[in-house]
Amino acid sequence: MLRISQISRKVLPAFVVATGVIAGTWPAFAQSATIASPAAAFTAAQDALDAAWQANGLAFVVATFTQDGGTAYGQYTPRNGSVFQDDDVLSIYAEPVGYGFIETDGVFAFDLTASYRLLNSSGQVLAEQENFAEFSGEGRSKQRELAAALSFQFSGLPAGDYELETRFKDQADGKEAGFTLSFSIAEPN
């Protein structure tokens, strides 16, 4: 036993030293002066985007029914039509823009909550829920590619026309925006 203990003591410091040497070289690569900087025109375009983003306020570039809800930013398949069966899942993909960021120690955070209302053709509210979904994140740069995938399943709806109102609230600045998608429930087969 004493012999194994002595071997372990010799191997462990060698492993720690090797790990320390490898870890110690990483910052030298990450801070290399050989990184190509963007052109002045690119930097100016980014600054213009930032100003337009802030001036625009919360809005949506895309809000549509999809086949599968979407898997990532720009990765969705639009649904052909808006007629559903009573037990179908209503999948929606949306791309919000103009949401605010809160900067803390060089980290930019965003936080959006979503609420919905389901209305029949006469405007009667059949279902609603506040803050049923949250979309948040943070990073060292402002993350402007947000894919909001939502799924709804309303059972027991009679055949007819409906509207699904979805509202997003920006927790960073309190602004709100939304969209309404019309759909129909088909007669049972």
What single string gives the DSSP state of each residue in 32-91?
A: -TTPPPPPHHHHHHHHHHHHHHHHH-SEEEEEEEESS--SBTTB--B-S-SEE-TT--EE
Quote the pLDDT of residue 189.
77
Quote the pLDDT of residue 63.
97
Quote the pLDDT of residue 32.
61
User: Which residues face 136 on adjacent strands?
Assistant: 111
What amino acid is encoded at 50 in this protein?
A: D
* Distance of alpha carbon 109 from alpha carbon 116, whole angstroms: 24
pLDDT by 10s per residue, the chain, length 189: 433 334 344 443 433 333 343 444 444 455 667 889 999 999 999 999 999 999 999 999 999 999 988 889 999 999 999 999 998 999 999 999 999 999 999 999 999 999 999 999 999 999 999 999 999 999 999 999 999 999 999 989 999 999 999 999 999 999 999 999 999 999 987
Quote the pLDDT of residue 47.
95
* Distance of alpha carbon 168 from alpha carbon 135, whole angstroms: 10
Q: What is the model's pTM?
A: 0.78
* Distance of alpha carbon 189 from alpha carbon 184, whole angstroms: 15
